[in-house]
Structure 1
Amino acid sequence: MNYLRIPVLSLAMAAVLTVALHPASASAARTDRWQADLSVVDTDDVNVRHTRAGLRLADARPPAAPARRSAVAEGMLVTSARTLAAPATRVRAEVTVTTRPGAAATVQVRGWRAHGWTEWRDAVPAAVFDSPVRQVQARVVLSASRSGATAEVRAVRLTADRVAVTAATPGLTYRVYATRIGLVGNTTANGHVVVARDHFVALPSRRGLSPRNSGDYTVRVCTTTGSRCEYAPVWDVGPWNTRDDYWNPSAVRENWKDLPQGRPEAQAAYQSGYNGGRDQFGRVVLNPAGIDLADGTFWDGLQLTTNAWVDVAYLWTGTGSRGVVGDGPLNIRSGPGTSYATRGLAAQYANVPIQCYVTGQSVTGPYRTTNRWNRLASGQFVSHAYISTVWGGTVPRC
């Protein structure tokens, strides 16, 4: 099930609205313009369909959901990535949409850098990246009203150009409260059907939501003692809120900008009565959760038996080489061989930060037979036999 509700473009009555964003002073040589193809609905899209009237929700009925989930129908279309004519730091959108009371539509974009995808950013009025990007991907997110009214997006035109930006920030780590997802057989916000002992996490903002079967946004979640960790992709939105990217600074954070960076709104509501003790939907917050863990991550990766505080690193906020776990969950070990102690797991599709590599025990895996072991940023090791690809730079020998 999907959790997001983003009322960016909403009107008090049915109407057609065009939000035009014109480049102010960009050089023609550095400006790239294109129109998003809304007609292709495929496997990475959720609950949307394309008609003569435009892109709309396939099913606008409110979902039958647990109390902590969104009470309205939602869906999204992810377009193909576009390679730009020149590196850009800003993308802006011009959206033509028909909407009705309570319904919403928004256009978000992300950019590909040397060390991975940026977070998704709203392209109205503009998305600005902290370093130049060569590729841009857009998505349209729709949500219905409680009565089932929906929006229809007719066209999305995008413009990419370059403006001065500040340097990228280093990776961020915060201690937050973790709860177990469960919900086997349900569908996550990116369209994944939850299976028993699954390995992924949910965060309360789509800004760090990975497309299905990818680890573009991966977290490292560890017990507070550091004895167990799991690298897991972000495949769902929750708990409690859906617009609370609490790991971001106030200038970037979508909502609750007066809270300290790294403190989830649900935690502040539960512990201090913030927002009257309620979440963005007006529901009484019953625990301080800032992350949800799928059962496999909860039981097998961290070996938790009850909800607990954990240390979470939001790996896309950092830099450096990343290895994609092609087959998992993969054991993380204390040394370069299978005789070393297991310190946790790396889920399939997780993008793990590789510091350097050493020579160790030879292992045969799905991608190669090799004695190379990659040392992760945590100081633990994974066999290179299970890494499908490495991006973000050359990995040096330790």
Structure 2
Amino acid sequence: MIRIKKAGRVTAAVLAAGAVTALAGAPAQAATAPDGTQWTADLSSVDSDDVNVTGAGGTLTLADAAWHRTARVFAGSEGSLTTAEHRLGSPVNRVSAELTADTPKGTSVDVDVRGRTGVHDWTEWTPAGTTLKSTVSEVQVRISLHTSTDGVRPSVRSVALSADSAPQVNALTAGTELTYKVYGTREGLPGGTTANGHVITSRDHFVALPSGKGLAPKGTGNYSVRVCRTDGSKCEYAPVWDVGPWNEQDDYWNPASVRTKFKDLPQGQPEAYAAYYNGYNGGKSGLGYKVQNPAGIDLADGVFWDGLGMSDNGNVNVTYLWTGSGPTGVVSTAGDPMNVRASASTTAAIKGLAANYAKVNIECYVEGDTVTGKFGTGNIWDRIGPGHYVSDTYLQTGSDQPVAPHC
């Protein structure tokens, strides 16, 4: 929470519990310490991967305070800046932020952080000041600006960051990725813009989840899912590029100890499901809209029609791949999704699709048909799910050798 002074200007520090308190005096400017544990965000480093923000004059604000990403955003505007990765001199598990911002009524600013745990792997985005699920030595910061009124915008003048270690209460434990059955809906909206700045194309291949904790930056699949028909007959591996449906702070796959809101609901149950079937929250979403279906995931048209072969909204099994552990690889094609096969053969049955940029978990490898892909020619195939195989020549793993054991 940001305590706003009467004039609308606030100097705020994000504390360990996630609370924000007003500070008197001039904004704090953190000097870069030798070990990199103190630094200042570059608010002018806005590029094409950022969403509806401008950093002119070193002040971050909404580029267009009346810009609506899609038809589903009825009023107000939003935008975000994702900073470059910052390497720390020593491992930490918490990054706090002290910011100076102008926040008129109806506007807000959020600061989230994440830490790198592997070549392509990150912790979830976590509010600044709260402990990460893992100790890390490289972090990234996301500054999000929101307004509920067209034309009214917040502005951020400085963000001073500091990293340290705190008692680990939500440590990342090795294990199998989480899977839940949820109601899936077709997103559609070609020509619209997703929460990470991607412009939606016809028969696109991505998904939306109702929380920014698992939102992958544009052109990445740091957070990806495996979504399958409930009979397992067809699946698609796809990156999370949008936030929705119905909610923006419902990381329902997480346990209550770290779930942002709706902590009284069972793990794996979306708020929209409880609102639709049980009248939870008066039958409304966290944004105050009357919930019209129990959806916990939105599917881009290509995932809906081509990957899963769906003709109507319905239940799907969703695996949140970043919640697992072990070797990973990023699908790298010329643009179109690649076929996922039932065995290590180019003539084996097609079990679904793996979208470009999707980050997949590699369980093990086998030898099979020789394939020429983006990373050369070879006969190594990786098993990325139960009975799901793709050629290693299309996976960016950071190594020329298999990164998982033999099956």
> Following TM superposition, by how much is the alpha carbon of 1:147 offset from its aligned partner in structure 2, in angstroms?
4.3
- Structure 2 residue 8 is the aligned partner of structure 1 residue 15: yes
Q: Report the Cα distance in structure 2 between the residues aligned to 1:53 and 1:111, rounded to whole angstroms.
A: 25
Equivalent positions of 1:107-122 (< 5 A) are 107-114=111-118, 116-122=121-127
Instruction: State yes or no: 1:237 paired with 2:230.
Output: no
In structure 1, the residue matched to 2:406 is 397
Residue 12 of structure 1: how far off its partner (Å): 7.4
Structure 1 residues 22 and 216: CA distance shift in structure 2, 3 A:
closer
The amino acid of 1:355's aligned partner reads E
Aligned to 1:5: none
Return the TM-score normalized by structure 2: 0.90
Could you tell me how far apart the structure 2 residues matched to 1:356 and 1:52 are?
Answer: 51
**1:197 aligned to 2:203?**
yes
The 8 Å contact of residues 10 and 102 in structure 1, kept in 2 or not, is answered as: no
Q: SS where residue 52 of structure 1 aligns? A: helix
Aligned to 2:55: 50
2:148 and 2:319 map into 1 onto residues whose CA distance is 35
Q: Which of 150, 169, 191 is the matching residue for 2:153?
A: 150
Counterpart-to-counterpart distance in 2, 1:72 and 1:109: 24
SS at match of 2:4: coil
Is this contact kept in 2: 1:10–1:103, CA < 8 A? no
Equivalent position to 1:274, from 269, 275, 280: 280
Gaps of 5+ in 2: 17-32
Letter in 2 for 1:288: P
Rounded to whole Å, the distance in 2 between the matches of 1:298 and 1:121 is: 30
Q: Percent identity?
A: 52
Q: Answer whether contact 2:69 2:194 (CA < 8 A) is retained.
A: no
Equivalent residues in 2 for 1:139-218 (5 A)?
A: 139-165=142-168, 166-169=170-173, 170=175, 171-218=177-224
User: What aligned pairs does 1:16-95 form with structure 2 within 5 A after superposition?
Assistant: 16-20=9-13, 32-52=37-57, 54-61=59-66, 63=68, 65-66=70-71, 68-69=72-73, 71-95=75-99
Residue 163 of structure 1 deviates from its aligned partner by 2.4
Go from structure 1 to structure 2 and tell me whether the alpha carbon gap of 1:236 and 1:101 turns closer, same or farther (over 3 Å shift): same
Aligned to 2:24: none
Superimposed CA distance per residue, residues 359-378 of structure 1 (whole angstroms, 9 cap, x where no aligned partner):
10001112211101001132
Q: Structure 2: how far apart are the matches of 1:263 and 1:30?
A: 42
Question: Do the aligned partners of 2:13 and 2:96 also contact (CA within 8 Å) in 1?
Answer: no
Relative to structure 1, the CA distance from residue 70 to residue 202 in structure 2 (aligned partners, 3 Å threshold; closer, same or farther) is: farther
The residue type equivalent to 1:142 in the other structure is: L
The 8 Å contact of residues 324 and 390 in structure 1, kept in 2 or not, is answered as no
Contact 1:10–1:105 (CA under 8 A) maintained in structure 2: no
Deviations along 1:152-205, one digit per CA (max 9) or x if unpaired, are 111111111122325424321111000001111111111101111110000011
Whether 2:315 is the aligned partner of 1:309: answer: yes
Shift of 1:9: 3.2
Residue 290 of structure 1 corresponds to which residue in structure 2?
296
Query: 5+ unaligned residues in a row in structure 1: which ranges?
Result: 1-7
Q: Distance in 1 between matches of 2:248 and 2:309?
A: 27
Shift in alpha-carbon separation, 1:154–1:332, aligned structure 2, 3 A: same
Residues in 2 aligned to 1:240 and 1:397: alpha-carbon distance in whole angstroms: 43
| CA distance 1:158–1:241, shift in 2 (3 Å) | same
Report what 2:21 is aligned to: none
TM alignment of 1:327-346, pairs within 5 A: 327=333, 328-346=336-354
The answer on whether the counterparts of 1:13 and 1:100 sit within 8 Å (CA) in structure 2 is: no
Residue 383 of structure 2 aligns to a residue whose secondary structure is strand
- When residues 69 and 75 of structure 1 are mapped into structure 2, their CA distance, relative to the original with a 3 A threshold, is same
Shift of 1:389: 2.7
Q: Give the Å deviation of 1:251.
A: 1.6
Preserved contact between residue 207 and residue 299 of structure 2 (Cα < 8 Å): yes
Could you tell me which residue of structure 1 aligns to residue 355 of structure 2?
347
**1:324 aligned partner:** 330
> Alpha-carbon deviation of 1:250?
1.1
Question: Alpha-carbon deviations, 1:122-171, whole Å to 9, x = none?
Answer: 11xx1311221111000110011324321111111111112232542432
Output the CA distance in 2 between the equivalents of 1:390 and 1:199.
24
CA distance in 1, matches of 2:36, 2:51: 31
> Could you say which residue in structure 2 is the equivalent of 1:264?
270
DSSP 3-state at the match of 2:397: strand
Cα distance, 1:60 vs. partner? 0.4
Which is further off, 138-147 or 37-46?
A: 138-147
For residues 11-37 of structure 1, give each alpha carbon's deviation from its aligned partner in whole angstroms, at most 9, with x where no partner exists.
3744221123589xxxx9977111111
Kept in 1, the 8 Å contact 2:184–2:313? The answer is: yes
Query: Aligned AA for 2:406?
Result: R
